[in-house]
Chains A and B, each alone.
Chain A
Amino acid sequence: MSGRERGSGGAAALDFTPAPGAAPFPRMVLAQAGAEIRAMLRNGEQLLLTLIIPVLLLVGFSLAPLIDVGGGRRIDFLAPGVLALAVMSTAFTGQAIATGFERRYGVLKRLGATPLSRAGLMMAKTAAVVAVEGIQAVLIVAVGLALGWRPQGSFLGAALLVVLGTAAFSGLGLLMAGVLRAEATLAAANLVYLVLLGAGGVIFPLSKFPEGVRPVLEALPISALTGGLRSVLAEGAALPLGPLAVLAAWAVVSLALVSRTFRWE
């Protein structure tokens, strides 16, 4: 050994002798999912969309008699709508914006050079979305119960709606992120969030809209999710087949388009 001095910091000798190998698939996916969850929870704008706005809407509109929910208690109408909004904010808006910028910053490209496969990356993203939705659900349900919400119906039906809703919104978000520029995705995803918040039965009942546009509104994924969750949690339905079919159709079409159009670079 030449006894050449290492830089400050007293770094241990590093053995660069090649020893290549991929980590086990579940470990890679978990590591990436953890990074995605931390990124989501660290991002202030995203927390505003995913946690703060839904909770404020829930509290504000259930306490103040600003809207006519067409009979029944306001909180029983609002809580399922806000849950649907939470799913949309994470699976669609947050995911579209984050993925758009990851593409722009070359993160997707760089990850493509690691042993984490694209399928693994998509699984990690999905796991992260589901984990954040879990946090949202706990918070919204807790606030809702505190406000006197009395949910009923089948947990399984609600869970199935959330799963299909997540798939549909993820497909739409990734479709947008994979085609548009990052800035355009940012603008469009926020706009769509606002429009669907207003026109998707989240806090304003669809029955208040003119007869003519209602079939169009009812075909939106957000309306299917709000309507479906309401019929389970407020009316005690077991499996709302109509909304489930609408969500499944959006999921299949959007994810098929994603797989054909998504650009990683």
Chain B
Amino acid sequence: MQSYVQIENAGMMFSTKKGTFTALTDINFNIDQGEFIALIGHSGCGKSTLLNLVAGLLDATDGVLLLANKEIKGPGPERSVVFQNHSLLPWLTAFENVYLAVEKVFGGSETKAQLKARTSAALDLVGLTHAAGKLPGEISGGMKQRVGIARALAMEPKVLLMDEPFGALDALTRAHLQDELMKIVAATKSTVIMVTHDVDEAVLLSDRIVMMTNGPAATIGEILSVDLPRPRDRLALAHDPHYHDLRSRVLEFLYSRQMRPKEAA
């Protein structure tokens, strides 16, 4: 079977004032439909750059990226992004923020009532029906991030891209949203790529963890399959030796084999 997302020999160079800077090199990686992939690595390892390549916000300087056998050229709503800092438009209400995306994707084929129903359903999915009329400035950070997720999901993307979606949240809110995300992904069977720097989050949520080496010229160091059965429960996993085994393998990669250069020096 053909893979859904194919990344072949992808590389990314940026031209800076000091010359070219190679961020990523030799990225080879395939993702199946419905898979949940976590990208993990130290900061500056280019994991967000890789996500932006799939999103189309950056164009790869080397290699090729395919989605459903079509080359990825530029951003598009079939690859919706949940941004690190929610990126809601502060002058639009939660509803309007989601509606803007829904209207763009389905506006050509559906009536206004249908579009509104889709928007309400997306907000309902993340449990924010009561906050639909609020501006982003009036709701908490966790709620904003949920609106961001609702916006991304409402577009019914082929691939959902998440750039450290819970990084800015406190631990309790983060755990709550992780649980919700697992339920939503199970229900919608979405293909997800998530950038994270949280080992527990990676093991808990993903089917495979892509571990990146340190930059510059970062590449994939190791891919770990997380064969824990679903649905997963964070409390049960806390006592699961296999969970701890997987977790320590990621930690071992990050802290002994890919020690941050500064700390190593």
A and B together in one complex: no
Chain B contacts to A: CB under 8 angstroms: none
Chain A contacts to B: CB under 8 angstroms: none
